[in-house]
Structure 1
């Protein structure tokens, strides 16, 4: 009964802002972009600059914990400074509390690209794209952080380039999620993603890569469902890479190892397409 009442209360107090609402007398809400474990992110029009921005507010139901996590996320984003990672523009207080303003990256997710634009990827195209994405991931890793949420919604395809967004779950190398997030905010993660380590991000990249490779998959009539190893006709280098990403074979301990093998695989595919 208590849990039910708590859910009703949180739904009410966290009810999103509506289009036309004004934040801090400056940011006019256009739409809700997403709702996470501790924050709500809106697409807004900055009335000062005329530009679209993303504004993240803490969830009222999470109280001071959400404010602390929003400040923490802003601190991490300040350290990124990369042309393909949204820039932190401002973090400040307004009449309703704390808010964080970021560059808004318009574009499509990979899912939208494949299913709405009917885009498919060859092995070579997939490797080229993943190498570009990994340049962003490596940038994060070299600043001492693990993104921990490299999923399809958090990679935006814009003008042919991948942008890495949403650092809400990021942790510094050596941190424990239990020391940062409350138990209610902790998500159940696969064993391969539990550690706050480079290879947990690479495991996520493996699933991202697999999704791209399935864009060219055409099942045969009456073919029973199978594993990706059974369904996809992959070259030996690409299969080997995926098995290391999924920790079937010895895992990559660093992003540079993975990127080097990607480059070697690309060369092999160019020689023997």
Structure 2
């Protein structure tokens, strides 16, 4: 069994080898660089020869077979329903030699993960709220169109000229739709919530974790102090403390969804 898994990994390394700079895909898109490699796809920065524009081209991972192709198709289906300035537009989909591709607008900027871990950026309460409040706009639009994003994290939020953009809809699904059984078998850390049909609260809880992560960017533990809960470690405004507990399910949540949360954030921002 171990030998079989090793052989499969070796085949995967060969099959998923990224395309080189300068290669033209689909007789149109010229690879400039590999932007990232996820569990089910490879994303490139390309130049569209027909328009001269930079675009993001995503390829389903060959080693993941039909599941990767299905996820890419689902992602494209979600994006074609979304029209928001903070969400990349779907530009093209095509197949070449049994490989599946999706092309979207390219958002030039830095992810919050890069800003925090590579640039050492720290955020105040007000700045965290401002970014989370901006993020609520595209999230609310996703919900209004009948979907959830399903993966709101700092690597999937790009900041460009002070404005946030929500990317990577690879785990997005329709409201009421359960997580794909194939994903459950492959994901070891799927929260219990993922066993339930998709609801907006799942994205709002992710925003709570997102906000908490942002707040920790400025946290400096005292030497010799024992690890404690975020309630003990972070000195937060009482109203923000309560908001986080509501988002994280420690108190009754926001029945009014993203709209109610938006109003609460606006009220809190006015107080800071």
**TM-score, length of structure 2 as denominator length:** 0.91
Decide whether aligned partners of structure 1 residues 168 and 249 sit closer, same or farther in structure 2, where only a CA change above 3 A counts: same
Contact 1:37 / 1:185 at 8 angstroms: preserved in 2?
Answer: no
Indicate the residue corresponding to 2:245 in structure 1.
Answer: 243
Q: How far apart are residue 202 of structure 1 and its match? A: 1.3
Cα distance in 2 between the residues matched to 1:267 and 1:75: 38
Task: Please identify, of 200-209 and 116-125, the stretch whose mean Cα deviation from structure 2 is larger.
Answer: 116-125
User: What's the RMSD between the two structures over aligned residues?
Assistant: 1.9
Indicate the residue corresponding to 2:74 in structure 1.
Answer: 72
Indicate the residue corresponding to 2:190 in structure 1.
Answer: 189
Cα distance in 2 between the residues matched to 1:5 and 1:63: 16
Decide whether aligned partners of structure 1 residues 31 and 96 sit closer, same or farther in structure 2, where only a CA change above 3 A counts: farther
Cα distance in 1 between the residues matched to 2:51 and 2:42: 22
Mark the runs of 5 or more structure 2 residues left unpaired by the alignment.
none
Decide whether aligned partners of structure 1 residues 112 and 37 sit closer, same or farther in structure 2, where only a CA change above 3 A counts: closer
**Pairing of 1:219-234 with structure 2 (within 5 A):** 219-234=221-236
Cα distance in 2 between the residues matched to 1:154 and 1:227: 25
> Aligned to 1:67, what secondary structure does the other structure show?
helix
Cα distance in 2 between the residues matched to 1:184 and 1:99: 25
Q: How far apart are residue 107 of structure 1 and its match? A: 0.8
Cα distance in 2 between the residues matched to 1:259 and 1:169: 24
Q: How far apart are residue 194 of structure 1 and its match? A: 4.5
Contact 1:54 / 1:102 at 8 angstroms: preserved in 2?
Answer: yes
Mark the runs of 5 or more structure 1 residues left unpaired by the alignment.
none
Among residues 16, 19, 24, which one is paired with 2:18 in the alignment?
16
Cα distance in 2 between the residues matched to 1:182 and 1:122: 36
Answering whether residue 27 of structure 2 is matched by residue 25 of structure 1, we say yes
> Aligned to 2:220, what secondary structure does the other structure show?
coil
Indicate the residue corresponding to 1:202 in structure 2.
Answer: 204
Q: How far apart are residue 94 of structure 1 and its match? A: 2.7
Contact 2:178 / 2:195 at 8 angstroms: preserved in 1?
Answer: no
Q: How far apart are residue 134 of structure 1 and its match? A: 0.6
Cα distance in 1 between the residues matched to 2:12 and 2:185: 13
Q: How far apart are residue 80 of structure 1 and its match? A: 0.6
Decide whether aligned partners of structure 1 residues 194 and 160 sit closer, same or farther in structure 2, where only a CA change above 3 A counts: farther
Indicate the residue corresponding to 1:142 in structure 2.
Answer: 144
> Aligned to 2:33, what secondary structure does the other structure show?
strand
Decide whether aligned partners of structure 1 residues 194 and 124 sit closer, same or farther in structure 2, where only a CA change above 3 A counts: farther
**TM-score, length of structure 1 as denominator length:** 0.90
Q: How far apart are residue 121 of structure 1 and its match? A: 2.0
Contact 2:184 / 2:190 at 8 angstroms: preserved in 1?
Answer: no
Indicate the residue corresponding to 1:261 in structure 2.
Answer: 264
Decide whether aligned partners of structure 1 residues 65 and 194 sit closer, same or farther in structure 2, where only a CA change above 3 A counts: closer
Cα distance in 2 between the residues matched to 1:104 and 1:115: 22
Indicate the residue corresponding to 2:178 in structure 1.
Answer: 176
Indicate the residue corresponding to 1:252 in structure 2.
Answer: 254
> Aligned to 1:100, what secondary structure does the other structure show?
strand
* Count of residues in correspondence between the two structures: 268
